[in-house]
């Protein structure tokens, strides 16, 4: 009898041992799964949960050439207009003046005889309490009739701008810091405007216009969809 029952007890012990091993494996698997879930929660948790403000970029050693630009009193401007990008960057823009000249941005190739370059100045302000991307929202427009035939194909109309106006390829540059504003800072390779800083920006055409163009012919518009969502150009009025 004892011999007949021994295999049964051995088989039962084997089942218990196998069940124990399976239970241990399941427990380990469960523990690993819980750890993985916990790790996933840590990874996807927003960094702002700590309640700490992100570190502001340092001005030390920023090396921007803008730091060498003069500080000037706030110039007389037209009405300022505020703009906000989808990323939440806020800017205030106000037109200062427009004009023409052979070298509006310093030493450049002289324009052909009978032509000149167009330019306009405006004040660009970061109206937020944090740094914002250094960008140049305004574009310079001139009457298409005042563009030489050699540059007509490069003078582009834009949606929401009067049909007789177009914009040539252009460059924008900070000409001065307003009321001692801090220069732009380099934040991981991206230039940012410090909180509250204001600059006088000059935008100038890369291609010449006819010499007869007057300051009254030139206009500043903000038309890019990043700044105006209704596909309508917003004019910056001169004082």
User: In this predicted model, what pLDDT tens digit does every residue of 64-119 receive, in sequence order?
Assistant: 456 678 999 999 999 999 999 999 999 999 999 999 999 999 877 889 999 999 99
Q: Answer yes or no: is pLDDT of 1 > 80.
A: no
Q: What DSSP state is assigned to residue 105? A: T
Q: Which long-range contacts link 14-22 to residues 24+ away (Cβ below 8 Å)?
A: none
> How high is the pLDDT of residue 65?
58
CATH 2.60.40 applies to domain 65-236? yes
Contacts of 62 (CB under 8 A, 6+ apart): 183, 184, 185, 186
Distance CA 66, CA 198 (A): 12
Average pLDDT over all residues of the chain:
80
- pLDDT (tens digit per residue) in 120-141: 999 999 999 999 999 999 999 9
Distance CA 40, CA 61 (A): 38
Distance CA 142, CA 55 (A): 43
Rounded to the nearest angstrom, the gap between the alpha carbon of residue 145 and the centroid of all alpha carbons in its chain is: 33
Distance CA 209, CA 154 (A): 12
Cα-trace Rg, the chain: 33
With bands split at pLDDT 50, 70 and 90, how would you rate the model's confidence at 232? confident
Give, in degrees to the nearest 5, the angle at Cα 185 between 184 and 186: 130
Neighbouring C-beta atoms of residue 150, cutoff 10 Å: 11
> How high is the pLDDT of residue 99?
97
Neighbouring C-beta atoms of residue 86, cutoff 10 Å: 9
Cα-based torsion angle of the residue sequence 127, 132, 135, 136 in order, rounded to the nearest 10 degrees: 0
Contact 144, 152 (CB under 8 A): yes
| Residue spans per domain, the chain | 65-236
- Segment 17-45 shows an average pLDDT of 41
> How high is the pLDDT of residue 67?
63
Q: Answer yes or no: is pLDDT of 186 > 90.
A: yes
Strand 198-205 and strand 139-143: the pairing is unpaired
Neighbouring C-beta atoms of residue 32, cutoff 10 Å: 10
> How high is the pLDDT of residue 229?
80
- Tell whether pTM > 0.75: no
Q: What DSSP state is assigned to residue 87? A: T
- Segment 16-22 shows an average pLDDT of 46
Beta bridge partners of 117: 101
pLDDT above 70 coverage of the chain, percent: 72
Which helix or strand (DSSP H or E) is residue 190 part of? strand 190-193
Q: Answer yes or no: is pLDDT of 206 > 70.
A: yes
């Amino acid at each position: 009898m004892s011999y007949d029952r021994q295999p049964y007890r051995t088989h039962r012990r084997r089942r218990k041992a196998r069940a124990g091993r399976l239970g241990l494996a399941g427990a380990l698997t469960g523990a690993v799964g819980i750890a993985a879930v916990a790790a996933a929660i840590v990874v996807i948790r927003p960094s702002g949960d700590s309640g700490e403000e992100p570190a502001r970029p340092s001005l030390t050693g920023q090396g921007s050439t803008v730091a060498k630009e003069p500080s000037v009193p706030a110039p007389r401007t037209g009405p300022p207009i505020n703009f906000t990008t989808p990323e939440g960057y806020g800017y205030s823009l106000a037109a200062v003046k427009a004009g023409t000249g052979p070298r509006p941005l310093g030493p450049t190739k002289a324009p052909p005889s009978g032509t000149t370059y167009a330019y306009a100045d405006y004040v660009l302000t970061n109206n937020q309490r944090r740094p914002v991307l250094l960008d140049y929202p305004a574009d310079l427009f001139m009457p298409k009739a005042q563009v030489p035939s050699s540059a007509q194909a490069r003078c582009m109309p834009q949606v929401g701008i009067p049909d007789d106006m177009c914009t040539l390829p252009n460059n924008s540059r900070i000409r001065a810091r307003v009321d001692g504003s801090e220069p732009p800072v380099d934040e991981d390779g991206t230039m940012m405007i410090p909180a509250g800083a204001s600059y006088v920006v000059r935008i100038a055409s890369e291609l010449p216009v006819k010499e007869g163009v007057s300051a009254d012919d030139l206009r500043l518009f903000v038309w890019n969809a990043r700044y105006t969502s209704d596909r309508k150009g917003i004019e910056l009025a001169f004082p």
